[in-house]
Structure formats: structure tokens, C-alpha cells
Structure 1
């Protein structure tokens, strides 16, 4: 209830799952009301069990206090604990998807019953890529999967433009397109934002501009990002930055990945929704 009231529930689960949390809250609230009514009712009822001896409530203050603390402590701690966003300490224990190839398991999904899917066109600022995106669901505020046609149009727009702005709604597919068409992307200007992450073997002028992508909840979160190179020595880890630079290629862990040669970098505040969503591509 606290997480729903404050809106921090999206720090733990994807917005599309919130409807199930509301349902659970309603069921538990209903059961709680029923149990309160039954527990405070003057009507006497006899419960039989296959055991010897009588059952009764604790008779002393100490026993009663111990019994109720078993319920009170877990409830109060839920209100006392802070809400934390996933950061470098979690990223270091997971595989970093630098470029997010479309061959990843979660990138392409088959979805049926798509007749009611609404679509809208979203055009970016001047001299930046334009793309067709789906409307956000009014309930969960999470992007719908792209259709194959929309994905192809997004790819065409990115290949044609000289300036690419990686937005939150299409973060994963745009990163995938850059990786899969790296030779055609070299020399283009790209702008992206994320938190600062460093691998142990990185040079002082190298960072990863990273984002956590989730499908259902933070337990399945994957780390996406793009390597960047420039004057970043003084940047602390987990600091959010906006990076603009030129796409090049480099070798990392035996593979070829994109890298941003930084032209401009600025510190920014962490967005209200720090995670991106792997919306996938709808196979019709």
C-alpha cells in the first residue's frame, strides 16, 4: 500500500504488473476486513481439532506482546526501509549488454491478439531521428511492443539520419539497431543518458553509460549500455549523465561493439523512472 501510494512501486516491478498488485491489495483488504469482523463478533463459535488440550489467547502481557510483535515488526519495517534504485553494485554481478544485439532472448517476442493495439507517431526534435511508437497504455504507462513494420521504420530512420537521440521508450530496440548495423552507424552523432558504470579493466577515460532494462520486475533486470570514451576520469560511479558524441567501434571481450567518442557530457538528475523496458518486437 505504501509503494502504491508513493508511486515507488515502479522501482520494483514493471508498470504492466501493477494491475495485479491492485488486485492482490483488494483481496488482502477484503480478507482482513472479514477476519476483523469475525474476531470482534460477539457470536460464540466452537472450533474442533484433532489434538488434546485447550486453545486460548495469551494470558500475560509479555506473551501477548511477543505474539503481536510477530505481526507488527514486519509491517513497520516495510514503512521504515528506504527505496533503492538498482546501481553499479548490482550491475557488476550481471552481464552488461553493450549494444544489445537483437539476438538476445527477450528482444523478439511473439504476441497474439493484437487487434486492439493503438499506434501513434512520435517525431523527435529537428535533425534527430523520427520513429513510430505505440501509445502508452493509460493504466500502466508502459510502451507496447513494436510491430515488425514499426521496427523496420525505426531502423530506416536511424540509418538515414546523422543525429540519433536514444529515448527511453525505444531504448532497447534503438541500441539493438546500432549494434546490428554498426558499420553504417560509424560517424553518426548519438545522444544518450544513463548512470556511470566502470568495469575493473577499464582505462580512466572509459565508462559505460548504462541503464537497467526490466520485463516484469527488478529480479529479471538486465544491464544495457554503450561504452563512452573521453574526459570522464572525475565522474563518480552511479552518477547520471547525458552524453553526446560520435559513434565508433572498438573491441571488448573478443567482440566488436559501438563506442561513443564524447563531444559533450553533462551531469543530470536521475529520472523519475530510471529503468527502461524491453518491449520486444511483435511477430504477426
Structure 2
């Protein structure tokens, strides 16, 4: 029997992919790359790679009789039907092909998984993206401009400390009594989604938890007046641009539809006296009051921060959309 080195390399590559995928799942780092709803799909891909690896094992050793049966060239290196069985000489073209496949494996095993940060937000457009989100929302829905401003507009907290005393006060049951099953649903009908938005809008305060962050964000940008004056609480990382005032920064998150390749920044422009002392990429938990400001000629929601503190990066740093079934 002849040992075929190139076929062994291919088997090793096929085995490396499921090992990397299972490693990412075991450590939880897979969530830094894909939407959690694709967990099952990534596991299926890993299993498929394992099957291909087992098939590839049968090609590593081959008898001379079997080789002569398939190949009729003098040196038995090139088949008469013009495709490579892995026995042709190793050349630069093959080296390049292998490197294209092996490179993501090397980086996946050797480089630590990193959450998208402000530098990526800047490359993707930063405030230009956030401004466009408002413009798109305004164009897609009829804003209730005649709605009266919320009476909470003037009820801002007098707290000016840069840290909460202990923890952010938990909302009273009447403040946030949303059906938890409905809020937790990753997939819902249009009717259920509209019901969720209506329930969220009726609350006196805006608590942007993971399960409703995207829903709140969309609805606030669709109709700022409906939320103006309400207390808001959220967590995000600090992002700044050169043209910001000294007391301005954006508290942002990344919105992931499928994977990090389609990531888009979402966030709120905020007003904070200590903004200049807050480093970019610092994760902040804040409470403030929603208001309206103008940035580059576009009306945007912004937050007058009343309480804030630095926190560690959350276990789920990204925001994911609700899947709406079109019936």
C-alpha cells in the first residue's frame, strides 16, 4: 500500500474544521461570530466535516493495483480523465490553494476571539450609519407628530454622580409588566410584533434589556416624540467622533442579523459632562432621559445621562433582530 501525503493533509484539514467549531461552542466564543439562532446550523456543519473526514481517510492509503486501475500515465501521477487524485507534484498553485483554506484555521486556533469595538464602528460609518437608521425609519412609517410630549420631560433625576450607589434600582412590577414569553420569542408574527411594540411603548420607562433592545431601538427611531421625556436604561460601549462636543459620546452596540460580517452599529448620542474622561470602548450602564437633538441636519433621539457607571463587557455583547413571519 502507498501512503498519499497530500490526501493525509486534506484529511487533517477536514478534521480541523469540526474541532475548531466544537471548540468555539464549548468556550461560548461562537456567539462572538454568529447569531445564536444559527447554533444548530454550525453544529450540523461540524458533523458534515467529520463525515467528509471519515471518507477522506479511505483515500490516504491505496494499493498499487487500485492506482494502476485509475491512472494510465507513465509516471502514474496524472489521470487520463484530467483531474488530480492528490498524487501530482506539490507546486505553488497547490500551496496557495491550501493556504487559503488553512489561514482561517490558523487564526481561529491561535488568535483570541474579539468582540467588535469602536474601531470597527468607525470603519463602518459610525454616526453616519446611526443617522441613516433614523432617516430610513422616518421614511418607512408615519410618525405621530401630533402626539403630545410625555409629561415626564421635566422629571429628570438630580443625581450627578458618575456611578450608581450600588445597583440600578429594579423597576417596579407595574413599570415593566411585559409578557416574558412574548418578549423572549426570537420568531413571531407581525401581529405579535406589533403587540410587543405597543406594550413597550405604554411603559413609563424604557428598559432596554437584551430581549427587547432591537424592538425598542426600532420603535424609538420611528417615533421619537412617543418616547420623549421617558427615563431610559441601557448598556453599551462608548464611541466618539472628532466633531463631537466635549460632553457628547455615543453609547453603542452592534446589531447582528446573521454573523459579524453583516454587523451594523446601533446606538444613542448622549450628553454627559464627564464624557471627555470616558475612554472609547468603555462599557457603560446608564440611566437618563430621552430627548431630541439635531445632528448634521437630522433629528435624532439622544439621552441626557443622569446616572452611569463603568461595567464589564456583557456575556451577550451583540443585539439580534426578531424574526417576523410574513403570513
TM-score, length-scaled by structure 2: 0.67
Q: 2:262 aligned with 1:210, yes or no?
A: no
2:129 to 96, 99, 103: 96
Q: 2:282 aligned with 1:239, yes or no?
A: yes
Higher strand share: 1
Question: Which has the bigger relative contact order, CA under 8 A and spacing at least 6?
Answer: 1
Q: Which runs of 5+ in 2 are unaligned?
A: 1-20, 78-85, 142-169
1:4 positional shift: 2.2
- In structure 2, relative to structure 1, the CA distance for the partners of 1:128 and 1:199 (3 Å cut) is farther
1:21 to 24, 42, 46: 42
- In structure 2, relative to structure 1, the CA distance for the partners of 1:162 and 1:73 (3 Å cut) is closer
SS in 1 for 2:66: coil
Q: In structure 2, what is the equivalent of residue 190 of structure 1?
A: 232
Higher helix share: 2
Give the conservation status (yes or no) of the 8 Å contact 1:206–1:229.
yes
In structure 1, C-alpha distance between the alignment counterparts of 2:121 and 2:26, rounded to whole Å = 28
Give the conservation status (yes or no) of the 8 Å contact 1:194–1:241.
yes
In structure 2, C-alpha distance between the alignment counterparts of 1:99 and 1:261, rounded to whole Å = 22
Q: 2:126 aligned with 1:79, yes or no?
A: no
In structure 1, C-alpha distance between the alignment counterparts of 2:208 and 2:135, rounded to whole Å = 16
Q: Which runs of 5+ in 1 are unaligned?
A: 109-123, 137-141
The structure with the larger Rg is 2
The number of equivalent residue pairs is 256
Cα-Cα RMSD: 3.4
TM-score, length-scaled by structure 1: 0.77
Give the conservation status (yes or no) of the 8 Å contact 1:240–1:270.
yes
- In structure 2, relative to structure 1, the CA distance for the partners of 1:194 and 1:34 (3 Å cut) is same
Q: 2:176 aligned with 1:129, yes or no?
A: yes
